Amino acid sequence: MTLTDSTTAVAGRHRIDVRTSVHAIDGAEWNRAVARAGGSVFHTWEWLAAFEDAPPGSFEPRHLLAYRGDDLVGVCPAYLVHDCPRLSYLTELAQLDLGGPVLMAHSLAALDGGPLAVPGHEDALDALLGALEEAAREAGARTWAVANAPAGALGGRLLRHGYATAHLTTSYRCATDVPSVADYWSFEAGRLRRKLGKERRVSGRGYTVAEEPADAATLVRLVHSILKDRGTPTDVLPEAFLHALKHRLAPYERMVTAVDAEQETVGVFAGWQFAGTWSMWLAGLDTERLASFVPYRAMAARLIEGAVTTDVASIDLGRSNGAEKRKLGARPVPLYLALNTSDRSERAALHAACRRLEQRCQGPDEQLDMIRRCC
């Protein structure tokens, strides 16, 4: 098969196309389906293009498209994973041998994963999950998976399809479709509102916090600085991948930065808005100059207030630091890794491994998070 080959199959009422390159997909058509299905930037054509430009590991695209007639009604980004630092770390924690490559929908790096279907075509999700299993068999993968599936209807659907699931981490999301900034902060009681408002103002002293972009070199430097500070290998977010994201996702970019008195950028929240969702996926900090996350509260307040005053309906604040994000009005959304296999005798082993994985990933604040790494 060449990189741009595609295959077609019929699953129930749907035609399923499998594409082995994002460049064999009409980006406008794909993004329309993602937007109609309520997807975020992590399902967009541009995200997949960045992943293909400079993958953080060794991946082969196997993207699935579900058609009803001539209408694209469902999508499922997927990769045959040969090498992924995040997946290797998780299998080590779980004491699990996957026995070769894994077909994954789609990336442990993203804040959303799995298939999407436009309203009225929810049965396309079952067709896509069935096609994921078939594509795994054709690729010689003994295991297939869905990464970072949010809790809810998709989780139940995965269980019905026989997946073993592990709640690995939690993402924190804010609803910002309110009339005014004052209305948003009204969830805080009077005394608490004044206390937290003062903390946000104090954290911004000495810094200029604004919704301004950081150049690619600054983004890489600050993101890698915090990774190293938390003991996370930088190969989970290699420089080439960050540059590709910066380039490909430029149409959606919305960043918040903190600049000190010397006009040096010392903090960055890197995010992208697709449709009504603003995903703040990466955080960076000059840990050599700052002993703590001093400007973060002021930066978080700035991005929330910027969302309220624009067309953003929700913000995904990303994973970890749940206690701080709850103070900002965020609600927790559990994210699951779901695994399945064609070998019935190995399914019990997958369930046991997922249980071990949850136990090893236990974190503070009644959430699950990585115990040794920050992402």
Residues of the chain with pLDDT under 70: 1-12, 191-193, 196, 199-204, 362-375
Residue 372: per-residue pLDDT: 46
Rounded Cα gap, residues 50 and 48, in angstroms:
5
Residue 133: per-residue pLDDT: 96
pTM of the model: 0.90
Please report, for residues 33, 125, 336, the alpha-carbon distance to residue 122 in angstroms, rounded to integers and kept in the order given: 13, 6, 20
Residue 371: per-residue pLDDT: 45
Residue 37: per-residue pLDDT: 96
Q: Which two tokens stand for residue 85?
A: 């630092």
The model's pLDDT over 237-292, given as tens digits with 9 standing for 90+, comes to 999 999 999 999 999 999 999 999 899 999 999 999 999 999 999 999 999 888 77
Residue 4: per-residue pLDDT: 45
Residue 187: per-residue pLDDT: 82
Rounded Cα gap, residues 5 and 270, in angstroms:
34
* Residue 368 DSSP one-character state: B
Residue 199: per-residue pLDDT: 66
Sign for the pseudo-dihedral over CA of 127, 128, 129, 132: positive
Question: How is 66-124 classified by DSSP, letter by letter?
Answer: EEETTEEEEEE--EEEEE-HHHHHHHHHHT----S-EEEES-TTSS--S-EE-TT-THH
Q: Which two tokens stand for residue 70?
A: 């001539």
